[in-house]
Copies of this chain bind each other. A is one copy, B any other.
Amino acid sequence: MRPFFIFRDPLKGTLKAAQIVKPKESLEIQQLETPKPRGSQILIKVNSAGVCHSDIHLWEGGYEGPNGQFLKTTDRGVKYPLTPGHEIAGTVESMGEEAGGFNKNDKVIVYPWIGEGLCPACRIGLENLCDKPRSLGVYTNGGYADYVLVPSYKYLVKLDEEVDLDASAALSCSALTAYGAVRNADLKPNDNLLVVGAGGLGLMAIQLAKRVTGARIIAIDLDDEKLDIAKKNGADDIVNSKKYDPVKTVLELTDRMGVDAIIDFVNASKTVETDMQMVRKRARIVLVGLFGGELKLNLVTMPTRAYRLIGSYTGSISEMAELVSLAKRGVIKPVISERFKLDQATEALSKLKNGKITGRGVINP
């Protein structure tokens, strides 16, 4: 069977990219051939490429699995050298002959969670959950470059002329993941929602839950500073789980009923174990984080308490378009804290790995 999306070998050329040539080594600036878009492909001039935690996994060549084993990215189909970068905002540079809907220099963000197009998920617009994903910056070259080739103009969402591209880049991954999780929590205005982890994703989830669901929001974290920001972003209540017993505190805040939904942006053994002790009957426990580990799940409580454990992974292009609309009207506000040049890509990843970027870092090639 014919494979999908063959990208020609990158030869020496005019496209400048920061590539992972070998895991764990510094990224190298490469001169690659600038691809010429064919068919419905479109070439984007990258203005902003977000630096995301999952880029670190690509850089390290894998991540730690449940039993301390190292899960290699190459076993999941990743190939090196690779240009990382899946949070991409920029302008339209050129278009294949079957592409349309855009003009040169239009500001756009790119939906990177591209699927094969034929599985049941893709058929309903959930390419992020495709059986055979082709994500940009993961399985194909991404946005740590001055240009990126997108397989179809359909993966673009147009931005207004006055929009800040750096802030917009975050909409395609961190904000989208937060939004997908909020949607999966299936909230009503009289629900109590617990957001576990008040980092970048948690804060965005709080903003979104506040504005599009009306639910009451409790944020939990170990860091008072983050919790203060959570409160300013819309959390009704905050709990420092270092200082207070989280289970006791959350039960007190909810008339001893427990919360109706949890979004866990950590998703580690310890957080989910705690989650399961403070949920009401019918609770939705939305698992988002990639920290991993094992949960010893008491099976009989699943039916008797009608719990739902819901894995949530990024979001759909329709949801990304909804975020673009919310950001345009100032309803949500992604925060960019640091900017890097392309040749600072290794530094950007190191800083993120060492917890030295508080908001979102962006590379401006």
- With contacts A120-B321, A306-B312 taken as known, whether A296 is within 8 angstroms of B294 at the C-beta atoms is yes
Among the listed stretches A12-20, A146-154, A219-227, A238-246, which one makes contact with chain B, having 4 or more residues with CB under 8 Å of it? A146-154
Whether A101 contacts B153 by the Cβ 8 Å rule is: no
Report the Cα distance A311→B298, complex, angstroms.
11
Q: How many copies does the complex hold?
A: 4
Q: Give residues of chain A (189-232) contacting chain B, Cβ–Cβ below 8 Å.
A: 189-191, 211-214, 216
- By the criterion of a CB under 8 Å from any partner CB, how many residues of chain A are at the interface? 95
A16 to chain B, nearest CB (A): 25
A305 CB contacts on chain B under 8 angstroms: 311, 313
> In the complex, what distance in Å separates the CA atom of A97 from the CA atom of B129?
25
A75 to chain B, nearest CB (A): 13
Which of the segments A3-11, A80-88, A339-347, A355-363 contacts the partner chain? Answer: A3-11
Q: Are B300 and A267 in contact (CB under 8 A)?
A: yes
Interface mask (A32-45 → B, CB under 8 Å = 1, otherwise 0): 00000011110000
The complex places the Cα of A225 from the Cα of B309 at a distance, in Å, of 34
Are B120 and A267 closer than 8 Å at their CB atoms?
no
Of the listed stretches A22-30, A166-174, A285-293, name the one at the interface; the rest are far from the partner chain: A285-293
Given A2-B99, A4-B101, A121-B281; A311-B318 close (CB under 8 Å): no
- On A, residues with C-beta under 8 Å from B are 1-6, 38-41, 65-66, 95-103, 116-118, 120-126, 129-131, 151-154, 188-191, 211-214, 216, 236, 257, 260, 267-269, 272, 280-282, 287-313, 316-318, 321-326, 329, 331
